Structures are given as structure tokens and as C-alpha cells.
Structure 1
């Protein structure tokens, strides 16, 4: 019954179209979740493509630690980074207080990582305020913030915990502000413009600085180091694909701060795709022709739908195959059942982002960590409903089955499961709907799906892109509700329906 449906679902959607983001025979380029990193990743990918090198760009994968670990583990081959981030956040303990590039290269080599020469611009951290607000309070430097403890601070989530972020800045400047909130970097600008925030962290090449008329506060104590943009790459890349490095080094010293700011503005304010922005730069600055075909809405929607269905179908099918036997076990062995229900309940309480990160060391980045996390979240509603459905079968019905001399397995198959089927299907339906929503987070680790346009839309402040992911996800959840409603009518005997 439900197992046949599960098998068909897996074969039709899951195994036939499971996204394998981690597989590439060429170069895997990574980028962080902010626009500038995506643009630099696109520039690297396209300049390599122009040299007929097979490239896969795995966009907006996460923060610094995520990309660094992916590079160390071989999940990606190169990604754009900043010298200040390496010195202060990634390798601070190993550098023993030294900040020169020679020491940085030596310590990177010990990790099996190499670094290009700087690309030509410095994108350091800064603090910013709306200019009108800063003028009213007479604030031009970070030190002057000490005199205004009432100001509302809101920083990007990564800046809140970085070694070179808010904790160190607060100590260096002895700032009194305590109620500081963490939020997405792009949303902070809207918070400033709307008056909900007074101060946030900036990247000095952000296009929004001019767009929102922000004042960049002077770092009068020289807290922030230089953040020269570079590309980090695995040391074994030179041996594996020797053609890559000469091509990549064409970018050294070729991107000015003005050019980088203009590219950020084109992507974030002009709504030009990062791929086209990168192609325009390569054509104008290096005379390199690069194809910049932008995926159409229909093709993009179809691809994200297949990716999303794959994540949901595979995880749900696996959960059904595991959870229903566990629910039967819970009904048969009450003491063991309490442990199983408790364990699946604990899994449900683990924050989804944390669970995804926990999966990465075991399964890498891409679809399978997301599938595994969704599988674990699906267990509780199916186990619990299977257990509840079997427990709620009236005793006289079971006694009648025993009186007929049915063996235990036959009684389970012919009597108990049909009587509990309506409750079991309800649990599967709950798990499926939960999975549709949770699967959007898989985009954070390169799993694709409807989360991809949602994340991109948030980053670019593009409501249309957000809706391209949110609306289909909601419609898919409604469709699944309808499918399981039909399945219940088809599989549950007419006399057992409500």
C-alpha cells in the first residue's frame, strides 16, 4: 500500500533527478553569501571557462568558516577571500601577531592552501550611519559612539561573532552599547533607512553607502586591518590542473575599488545578474569574451522545482521506510518505544541550520546533507502517528483477529495496518509539508531548490526573486496536501474513512 507509493515516488522523482552539486571533473569555484563574493566567483569561473577549463560555480554557500572548511576538505578548489579575514578570523592563532603576506602564505601552505596576489582593491570593514542622523548627533568617528549609549546597533550575523568583528571592536573602543542585534547584511541597510537601526557594519565597496547616503565613520583607532581581495586555492590544484593558475593570475591587480563598487551597484541596485556583471568586466577590462546567458524564468523555475522535489521525495521515502517499522516497534515494545519517541523528538528540536552544518563533515556540501537532515526531521510525525494509530485500535477487533487464528504478522498486515492507515498517512502528510518548507534551507549548503531564489532575493533586496521561491514552495505544499488526500481515499478502505 503506502510502501508501493513510496517506492514509485522515489523512482520517479528522487533517484532520477537527485542534485549532485558536489560532482565535477574540473574546477569547483565557491563563493560566500554576499554579492561581491558571488561576483568575484563568477569572474573566476568565466575567465577559466574562456580558457576551455571545466568549471562549476557553487554560489552563496555560506560564511567564512564554511567556505574555508569546504576548501580544506576538497569540496571546492578555490574561492575569493580577504587578507584581513584570513589574518584576524581564520589563521589568527597561527600567525602569532604577524600580519605580513609572506607569513600569511607560509601558514596557508601548512594547511595545503595557496593564495594569489591581491586583486587590486581593499574592502575593509567600517561602521556607518545615516548621514542626517550622524550630523544631528555630531558623530564622525567610531570613538564618538561612546557618548551615545542609546543608539541601536545592528550587525551582520557573521560580524557579531568574528574575531575581527563586534566583540573585539567593542573592547578596542570601550563602547557601552549592549542591546545589539544580528541580522542579514542586506537587511541592515533597510533598517537604517527605516530608522529601526542607528549603526551597522559596512563593507567599504558596498554600493548602498552612496545609495542610502550613509556616513562611513572614521576608524580613528585603526582597529580594522586591510582586507585585500585574493583568491585562495588548494595547493594540489597546480598539479591536478596546471592550466588553471596562469589564467587565474590574470586577475591579480586588475580590479580597482571603484570598479568593484560599480559592479556591486550593478548587481544590487541595477538588478543585473552577477553572471552578466562578471562578463561585462572581463570584456571591458581584459578583452575576454565570455558567454553570459541568463537563465529564463521558466527554465529556472523548472530546475528549482526538480531540485526541490528531489530533496523532499528522497528524504520522505527514506523516512517512511524507516519510521513505520519504528512506529510498529514502539507499539510492540512500549519501554523501547518511549526511547525511540524521545530520540526522534530530540532530533526535531535541533535547529535546522545547526543540523545542516553537522552533516557537512560527514557528507560534504550539496544535496545529501540536506536530504539527511530532512530525513531526520521527518521521523517524528511518522513514528508517532504509526504508534498512535496502532495503539488506538479497539481491543475487540484485535481479539476477533486472534480468534480467527491469524499469525502475528498476518494480523499486522491484514488488520492492524489497514485500521491504522489513515493515521499513518496523516503523519506522512505532515512530514511532507514540513519538508517542503525546510528544504528551502538546503540552498545555504548548495543543495538548490526553491531556497536558491529566496536567498538571492534577500541578498539583492529583490522581492520578485523571493516570490519566485516562496510562491512555488507554498503551492507545492498545497499540492502535496491534495495528493495525500487522494491517496487516503484510494488506500484507506471506505468503511474506515471518517
Structure 2
């Protein structure tokens, strides 16, 4: 038994080493100091604007584009931490949500507040994308303005999660118009379908959304002008014009080139016509010969489900997803097993330790990622790995502790009577006997991590979550399934792999018992 466990432990160490190598390979080379890193938020318009910035800047030096990083707070933290160099945003958002300035703040006032952070806002792209509240045309014609909502307390309002908490969002509307409703939260990409099918009565929209006309929505008038102007600009680190002078000069030529109707048409091309973000951006830039673009030929239409599951991008996402799961679960195993040993040896301390590890499970994943970005000073693979590592600890620590506590005391006493030292008893007796329970904990952590790893896309770490995040933004079932199906299959493969390993181990043990 002891020799077989030693061989098993050595095999596990080699396996974990291979996973770490895979992780390094999957991460790829880090972006160099001369690489311009462009980010975007997680909604259609930001994806498109990010692609436009990428295609304009790419002919003038190396560019790394990190799309769909999450909400305003996450993307702005990434910019402050230096994980990205610039991203598209809006003056109203910068003033009200980030800088706590009046909604009427000018670009000069915004820049004065950003300067101490080493940041700036410039290159007004040419359109204003303000917030609005929309209802279905099926609602009474008397419902025309935001103030009319006050007389309809039973109206079912569902708002995007960011809008619910923004200073210039629902709190401002409720205060200005005295609104009595208690809205629920909904993903922005799903709100239009819910409104069209009568599941909700009102939701927040952007004035450049393409689906306003598609779903025959009525935009309520903001008589008190609660919403400030949201002029699209580029938010950047102040050293960008020096570090990337040629790319910055190319980006400056975008000033004033994107009108409101241009943006509505681009949003419609992505959300209604099914064009890819890169194709939408390229088509727009082709009509502006004064602005350079990459000119790389790509498919204009998104793949169908079968094509998406079998294309080359699936392999890249699979390698990254495996690296995330393997790296986090491997690290959690190396840390969690010793913690389980301590918890089993020190019962009172063990209860406190298990409670602390269990508390980590209660932290919402996006909140944990948002906290890790400033703590680690970066976005991408490392915040995602740390988050997945923390979530994987509980089943491993708990099962290691439980397995060791279930080892009969007589087995320990017999080993000590034979002259073994405590560490030898642990290594040669207790761990081998508790191995089935311990492996069950590692298996649980691995299977859970396959699903949880999809959150990595919210901080630019890749994996199958890339497709899920894009599908949510576009309300595109094909994109959602293109990420969800491989994740589910991978979870089955992981479970089957552990099951096969357990079967082979039990078969070998039975053969050894039979022959002596």
C-alpha cells in the first residue's frame, strides 16, 4: 500500500507540473511594454468601438485587444492598474459614475479630475448615447414621459444591474420623479426579448440601440433632463500619446467621424444582421478613407452552432479553459491537502478553518474578480486563477479533513507501535487510507471549476466564457450554446477521467490482494 501510494503521489506531482506548463503555454507571451492594450465593456456598442480602435491602431504597432471586460467599474480599474491603455467610454458615465461630478461637467472638468490618476479623456467620436427608459407600444398612450411612471406603481420594471446601482441611473430617476416601483435586475442583452414577450413592462436602454425600432418600443421623455449627455470618448493613460505616438495620431483622426445614425446602423448590423464585431468595424472604416484600418479579411457572418463548435477557435478556448481549471485545482490541491491535515489534527482550529474556507464560497464571483483586479494590479489570467483557486479550496480541504478523521485510531496506534514517526504514519498509513475521500473532493472541485471558469472572460482571461459573455451581450443563443456545450462536455470528460482513474486503482488493488 505504501509503495503504491508513493508512486501515485509522484504521478500526481508530475501531472500537476504538466498542468503548470500547459498554463504557461496557454497564457502565451505577455504583452510587451510597446504593445498598445485596448479594452471594452460588455455590451454590443462597446465591442464595436473597441474593434474600431483596434483596427485603426494595429497598422501602427503591436496591439492587444481585450473585449468584454465587464462593467464600468472593472474596466476602469483595469485602466488604473495599467492592465489596459485605453478604452471607449462616455462623458456622462465618467462624470456621474466614476468621478462623482455633476452630470453637466465639461470634458475639461472631467480631465482635471482624471489627471491625478494619470488618466485622461479625449477624441470625442461624434455621437451621444444617453440612457433612456423604454416601454412597449402596447402600453397606454398616456405613458409618454418618465414622470408618468409615478402614476403606475404596478408597472413591472426590470433594469440592467449596472443601471440599478449607478448614481446617474435608477437612484437619480427615483429621486427626481418620485417613482414608487421596485425594479428587478436583468441582463441588458435579455431585456428586449423580455419586453417584447410581455414578461416586463419597461427597461433601461441606450439611445443608439438598434432594437428600439425592431421591437417597436416607445422611449419615454426625460422632461427634467435627469440623464446627462453621454458623448463617446476615449479614456486613456496619459503616457499613451508618447509611448504609442503613431497609433495615437491615427486614433485622433476618428474624432467626429461616428454619428448617431452610424452607431445605430453598426449596432443593428451586429445584433439584427448577425455580422461579427470585426466585420462591422471594418465596413464602417472602409467608408472613411482618411482613417487607416487593418484590412484583414474575415467572415462577415457569425458561424452557425455546428461551425462554431468545430472551428479552430474552439481549440484555443479549450486549451485556455483547461489551463484555468488545471492551474487553479492543482494549486488548490497543493494548498488544500495540508490545510485538511491541519484541520483534522486540530479539531477546534479545523472548524474555524473550514468556516473561513466556506465563507469564500459566499462571495459573488464578479465581486471577487472586481476586488482582485486592484489587489493584483492586473486583469487577465491571474485574477481568474486566484478566484478559481479560492472557490476550489472548500471541497478539497473538507474532504481531506473528513478522510483523515475517518481513519481508524487503531491503524495509527499500530503504526506508531511499529516505530513509525508521526509524519511516516501520515504519509504511509493515513493518506493512503483516506485517498478515496480525498480524490472525491478533488473531483468535485475540478467539475465545479469547469463551470465556474466561464467567469474568467469577464476579466479578459479567455476560455469558453468568451462566447457566453458575447452571447449575453447580443442575446445570441448560438454564441451562448457555443460556450455552454463545450463547458458541459468538458465537465463530463473530467468526471469520466476521475471515474476511470478510480476504476483502474480499485482493479489494481483487487489484483494485488488476490495474488498477495
What TM-score, normalized to structure 1? 0.94
SS in 2 for 1:122: coil
> Aligned pair 1:354/2:367, yes or no?
yes
Whole-Å separation in 1 of the counterparts to 2:471 and 2:273? 13
SS in 1 for 2:184: strand
SS in 1 for 2:41: coil
Return the offset for 1:141.
1.1
Whole-Å separation in 2 of the counterparts to 1:111 and 1:374? 30
Question: Structure 1, residues 291-320: CA drift from partner, whole Å, max 9, x if none?
Answer: 143597321111110110000000111111
Matched residue, 1:169 = 173
Whole-Å separation in 2 of the counterparts to 1:101 and 1:349? 40
Relative to structure 1, the CA distance from residue 209 to residue 85 in structure 2 (aligned partners, 3 Å threshold; closer, same or farther) is same
1:385 to 392, 399, 409: 399
> Aligned pair 1:446/2:460, yes or no?
yes
Whole-Å separation in 2 of the counterparts to 1:352 and 1:101? 34
Question: Structure 1, residues 102-152: CA drift from partner, whole Å, max 9, x if none?
Answer: 2223223233222223211111111101112243xx211111111111111
Question: Structure 1, residues 439-469: CA drift from partner, whole Å, max 9, x if none?
Answer: 0111111111111101111111111111111
Matched residue, 2:436 = 422
Return the offset for 1:5.
4.0
SS in 2 for 1:285: coil
> Aligned pair 1:11/2:17, yes or no?
yes
> Aligned pair 1:194/2:197, yes or no?
yes
Return the offset for 1:438.
0.7
Matched residue, 2:3 = none
Whole-Å separation in 1 of the counterparts to 2:375 and 2:9? 29
Whole-Å separation in 1 of the counterparts to 2:38 and 2:216? 34
Residues 42 and 275 of structure 1 are in contact (CA less than 8 Å); yes or no, is this contact kept in structure 2?
yes
Q: 12-21 vs 425-434, which deviates more?
A: 12-21
Relative to structure 1, the CA distance from residue 21 to residue 338 in structure 2 (aligned partners, 3 Å threshold; closer, same or farther) is farther
Return the offset for 1:374.
1.1
> Aligned pair 1:104/2:113, yes or no?
no
Question: Structure 1, residues 168-187: CA drift from partner, whole Å, max 9, x if none?
Answer: 1111111121x211111111
Return the offset for 1:335.
2.7
Q: 483-492 vs 298-307, which deviates more?
A: 483-492
2:35 to 26, 41, 66: 26
> Aligned pair 1:184/2:187, yes or no?
yes
Return the offset for 1:285.
2.3
SS in 1 for 2:482: helix
> Aligned pair 1:220/2:234, yes or no?
no
CA RMSD of aligned residues (A): 2.0
Residues 57 and 248 of structure 2 are in contact (CA less than 8 Å); yes or no, is this contact kept in structure 1?
no
Number of positions where the alignment pairs a residue of Structure 1 with one of Structure 2: 491
Question: Structure 1, residues 259-281: CA drift from partner, whole Å, max 9, x if none?
Answer: 10000001111111101100111
Question: Structure 1, residues 313-338: CA drift from partner, whole Å, max 9, x if none?
Answer: 00111111111111122222223222
Whole-Å separation in 1 of the counterparts to 2:14 and 2:279? 41
> Aligned pair 1:399/2:413, yes or no?
yes
What TM-score, normalized to structure 2? 0.91
> Aligned pair 1:147/2:160, yes or no?
no
Residues 58 and 247 of structure 2 are in contact (CA less than 8 Å); yes or no, is this contact kept in structure 1?
no
Matched residue, 2:427 = 413
SS in 2 for 1:202: strand
Matched residue, 2:296 = 291
Matched residue, 1:251 = 254
Whole-Å separation in 1 of the counterparts to 2:139 and 2:419? 84
2:96 to 64, 68, 88: 88
What are structure 2's unaligned runs of at least 5 residues? 1-6
Matched residue, 2:4 = none
